[in-house]
Amino acid sequence: MTKITAILCFVLTAFLCSRVNGQRFSMGFNSGIVFSQLDGDGFTGYDKLGVRLGIRSQAYLSPSLDFIVELNYEQKGSRFEAKDSENPGLKNQFVRLDYAEVPLLLRFYFKERRMLFGEAGLAVSYLVRNSFKDGNTGQTIMRYEDALPNFERSEFNAVLGGGIAISPRLGLILRTSIGLNRLYYNAEVVNQVAQLPPAQRHDSHVPLVLLRNYLVSAGVYFLL
């Protein structure tokens, strides 16, 4: 899925939402802080800090249900400590993955006052930029650079969240998302890596086997 396709998908869906049964429809903006990690690289914890910026459309389906479409720029990736580092305990290895993201979400309100809500849906993302930096040396982390040609540029995510509408226009959101497809998988090295002792499977010279994106985020939205 290209960036152009993602934008067209957003525009088309927003147009349809604005036309269905004459329902109310709003446009606005959203932003947030993203904490992410990559499952499969041997390092745990949502230690990579990023941002989410975008625009949103919100269609009011009923007093208790909305349909939301967003077009976001979202920073994901991983941050971890290098083995045999000169600075032990310092997580200064960075995998930066920047995406164009289109979430399609249903929001359900727990009460008629439309304050507390939950959200669930799917998001389609496209990888637009990447970098893999070793903070100790300033050089590229080669095991990621070598795997890059086989990265899946398109990603499908399951999204769950919730929040509070402070006013009809302003709200706070907490979300988590999991990649439904792998960012990277190399079946050819599975057996090779499996034969290594667990402590050595994520050494810098060992090829990557699998990567998958996970994130949690906190944000705010404003409707015009």
> pLDDT tens digits, residue range 176-186?
999 999 999 99
Number of Cβ within 10 Å of residue 215's Cβ equals 23
Per-residue pLDDT, averaged over 107-120, amounts to 92
Q: What is the pLDDT of residues 200-222, one digit of tens each?
A: 777 778 889 999 999 999 999 99
| All domains in the chain, ordered by first residue | 3-223 (2.40.160.20)
Q: Could you give the percent of the chain with pLDDT greater than 70?
A: 85
Give every CB contact of residue 164 below 8 A, 6+ residues apart in sequence: 115, 116, 117, 171, 172
Q: What is the pLDDT of residues 8-32, one digit of tens each?
A: 555 555 555 544 445 588 999 999 9
Which token pair is 161?
Answer: 């969240």
Mean pLDDT of the chain: 87
pLDDT score of 172 more than 80: yes
Going by pLDDT thresholds of 50, 70 and 90, the confidence category of residue 78 is: very high
Q: Could you give the percent of the chain with pLDDT greater than 90?
A: 61
Q: What is the pLDDT of residues 145-156, one digit of tens each?
A: 999 999 999 999
DSSP 194: H
Helix (H) or strand (E) holding 166: none
Going by pLDDT thresholds of 50, 70 and 90, the confidence category of residue 90 is: confident
Greater pLDDT, 104 or 17 = 104
Parallel, antiparallel, or unpaired: how do β-strands 184-185 and 170-179 relate? Answer: unpaired
Going by pLDDT thresholds of 50, 70 and 90, the confidence category of residue 193 is: confident
pLDDT score of 7 more than 60: no
Q: Give me the pLDDT at residue 13, please.
A: 57
Q: Give me the pLDDT at residue 118, please.
A: 97
